[in-house]
Structure 1
Amino acid sequence: MQFLAQILLDGLGRPAGEADTQADRVMAIFMCQNDPGLCDEWSPTAGGNRALLYPSDALRPMAAPVPDGDEDVLRLGAVNAVTLVSSPAADYSEAREEWGNRSGNSPRNVLGQLGGQPDWLQGDETPACATCTQPMILVAQLEEGPDHTTAMNFGGGTAFAFACGPCAQGAFLWQC
């Protein structure tokens, strides 16, 4: 599986006053890249992707590998970071357009949202937690990205990461 993203869970998407059961966790998102489209990676339960929750206090930075005469060992293919921008817009689509107009950038440069409500491309597919059967909370909505050479492959669509804080369960799916 290919690593796609790591997200610190810090109370995203919970109503005011609800217990903060996710603040000490990190979500790591992975998706099958063997013959894309053949792993059922669009499904949150078919095994073609995983959203794993880890305690954040157990994470440590990895030491840089020691080169063995080959400096390419220290190079990564493509690594991206994002800037978090808040928007007063009522929904995700409106926020993308508003940001594009305000910044002079293409809305395609928006790589997603943290928390909030999913902007489904098809019908609502909010997963239920496998442990408690309650609907999971949106952690992040991810776009493929503006550059096809570094884009995540969601079939031209959008991906959604969900978590159930009390059960420490995660789910990941995409729609196109």
Structure 2
Amino acid sequence: MLTSGGTPAPDAPVLRTGGVPLVPPGFTWPACAECEGAMQFIAHLPLDDGAVAVFYCQNAGMCDDWDATSGANRAFLFTEELQAAEVPTEGDTLLGAVTLLHPEAAPAPDDVVLGQLGGEPEWIQNDETPTCPRCAAPMTFTAALEEGLHHDTAANFGCGCGYVFTCRDCSEAAFLWQR
């Protein structure tokens, strides 16, 4: 389980929601394929061999931001050296707060669970494991993200849960959410 561990620096290379994404040099901030607006950065997930950055469209109700293949969300698996991204000046591009996430096998009774790292996904609806766009193999579940501590500073999954998947062989990542 992932629990809240305080507030790190916005560009800290730690497991967190919010803040500024860490990206390779030359990175272009993703835009929604449906409305063309700048996506919102929601999570930085360090892995043994890289890091995943998760983004999704904040044009609620207009774009299919829950679908892993709609183009209204993006997850990137980076394996190179990373730096803080240049944040677009227009659009709802950052969450209202940065939250450090602690992986814990057995959270304390008063801990707020904010997700899960590895293991098997606990689907709210049906299994929607995406396939890798390069090799067509089922992707590996990497993390689940709950909305967050406060509605005004958290990702909006319609009271649902976000799911992050990777294909490490192809350096691909995917994101979707369910409610």
Question: TM-score scaled to structure 1, two decimals?
Answer: 0.70
Report which of the two structures shows the higher radius of gyration computed on alpha carbons.
1
Instruction: Give 1:81's match in structure 2, choosing from 76, 92, 100.
Output: 100
- Equivalent residue number for residue 59 of structure 1: 82
How far off is 1:61 after superposition?
A: 5.3
Q: Which amino acid aligns with 2:138?
A: P
Q: How far does residue 62 in structure 1 lie from its aligned partner after superposition? A: 7.1
Asked whether the 8 Å contact 1:9–1:139 carries over to 2, the reply is: no
Aligned length: 133
Structure 2: unaligned runs, 5 residues or longer = 1-38, 87-94
Per the alignment, residue 52 of structure 2 pairs with 27
SS in structure 2 opposite 1:83?
strand
Q: Which runs of 4+ in 1 moved over 6 A?
A: none
- Whose strand fraction is larger, Structure 1's or Structure 2's? 2
Instruction: Determine what percentage of the aligned residue pairs are the same residue.
Output: 48
Aligned CA RMSD, in angstroms, stands at 1.9
Match of 1:105 in 2: 110
Point out where structure 1 has 5 or more consecutive residues left out of the alignment: 11-22, 64-75, 88-98
CA apart distance, 1:104: 3.0
Change (3 A) 1:62 1:46: closer
What amino acid is aligned across from residue 28 of structure 1 in structure 2? Answer: A
Equivalence map 1:115-130=2 (5 Å)? 115-130=118-133
Counterpart amino acid of residue 105 in structure 1: D
> Could you tell me which residue of structure 1 aligns to residue 156 of structure 2?
153
Q: Report the counterpart of residue 2 of structure 1 in structure 2.
A: 40
SS in 2 for 1:3: strand
Shift of 1:156: 0.9
Structure 2 length normalisation: TM-score?
0.69
